[in-house]
Amino acid sequence: MTAVNQIGWFQIGTDQPEAAERFYGELFGWSFADDETAGAAYRIITTPGEGGLQGGLATGGGPNHAVFSVVVADTEATCRQAEAAGGKVLVKRTTADGLTLAHVLDPSGNQFQVFTPPAG
């Protein structure tokens, strides 16, 4: 697992998944595979090279986006720190499959995600 306060995941949301896969695959050599737990609505992205970062391709249910995710020790505490530093919590802390995450806006309005992996 990626160390705390480093980018540990990224997600691209698209209403044109075939075009996105072709674009990123040809441009960067990224590969795509089914996410066995999410079905066709989510694909796993693997970037090339040793220690290449993984991410996800979301294929519906929201606006098109590209967002990076930072691993944090405590999602709730990080949200409080972000607000104190001039940011805004856009999507409050939620938990899914043991993963705790939130979406934050920086002072310029750029969205990113913070998450705490499941314990263990």
Output the CA–CA distances (angstroms, integers) from residue 34 to 41, 43, 54, in the order listed. 9, 5, 13
What average pLDDT is seen over the chain?
91
Site of tokens 């002072």: 107
Largest pairwise CA distance in the chain = 41
Site of tokens 């499959």: 97
pLDDT, tens only, 65-103: 899 999 999 999 999 999 999 999 999 999 988 899 999
Q: What is the mean pLDDT of residues 50-76?
A: 89
Q: How many CA atoms lie within 13 A of 67 on its CB side?
A: 22
Q: Which amino acid is at 91?
A: V
